[in-house]
Amino acid sequence: MRKTFTALMLSAGLLFIPMDLHAESNHQTDPAALHDTNQQLTGRDVKETVRAFMGELIQETDKTGKVVNFKSKEELLARMEMVSDRKAAKPFVEELYTEQDGSLYLNPMAAPPTFNEYESYDMVQLDENRAEVVQHNASALYGSYTIKIEFIHDAAWKIGKIAYEQ
């Protein structure tokens, strides 16, 4: 089944990771709230799951870029398994973080191209436990690109795979 969603708001669609993130500005969706019994992926599921993924991926840091709540990539990946498959999260964690002297640091850099919840996207239910969302975007940094996110259902919807085409 193919569905198209169009939002009413516009957004720049580009996320820059600041070196100093504060808890009050780090919008996160509670991963526990994502557990459901409905196996039909909805637009709400897509938005909440992507928000939760980004909320877990971009961690709070101190002024030096040291992550406050985790000491290793492994700890962060274990936490991210609530909202994504480890294989989907690992490339992002590997690129965005560095381990040094028993601590985890966020690398100051632009984030990879992201899903923009305020832009239209196509959603296809692949089977009972898998669905794919495809969105065409453009940004000043990356130009035109397509993001494909596969969602998997295992007690709740999670991100199973993220792929980009330019």
Query: Which two three-digit tokens encode residue 55?
Result: 């909320």
Q: Does 105 score more than 90 pLDDT?
A: yes
User: Whole-prediction pTM value?
Assistant: 0.76
Average pLDDT (95-106) is 97
**Is residue 102 pLDDT above 80, yes or no?**
yes
The domain ranges of the chain are: 2-7+14-165
The pLDDT tens digits for 50-83 are: 999 999 999 999 999 999 999 999 999 999 999 9
Contact by Cβ (8 Å): 151, 131: yes
Q: For residues 11 and 30, what is the distance between their CA atoms, to the nearest angstrom?
A: 23
Q: Residue 32 half-sphere exposure, CB side, CA atoms within 13 Å? A: 0
Higher-pLDDT residue of 93, 18: 93
- Output the pLDDT for position 166: 87
Q: What is the distance of C-alpha 96 from the center of its chain?
A: 13
The answer regarding whether domain 2-7+14-165 maps to CATH 3.90.550 reads no
**151: closest CA among 141, 142, 162?**
162
How many CA atoms does the CB half-sphere of 17 hold within 13 Å?
Answer: 24
Q: Which two tokens stand for residue 102?
A: 């028993």
Which residue would you say has higher pLDDT here, 21 or 40? 40
- Residue among 8, 15, 60, 51 nearest 33 (CA): 51
Q: How confident is the model at residue 32 (pLDDT cuts 50, 70, 90)?
A: low
Q: CA-CA distance, 132 to 155, in Å (whole number)?
A: 18
| Whether residue 125 has pLDDT greater than 80 | yes
Percent of the chain with pLDDT over 90: 69
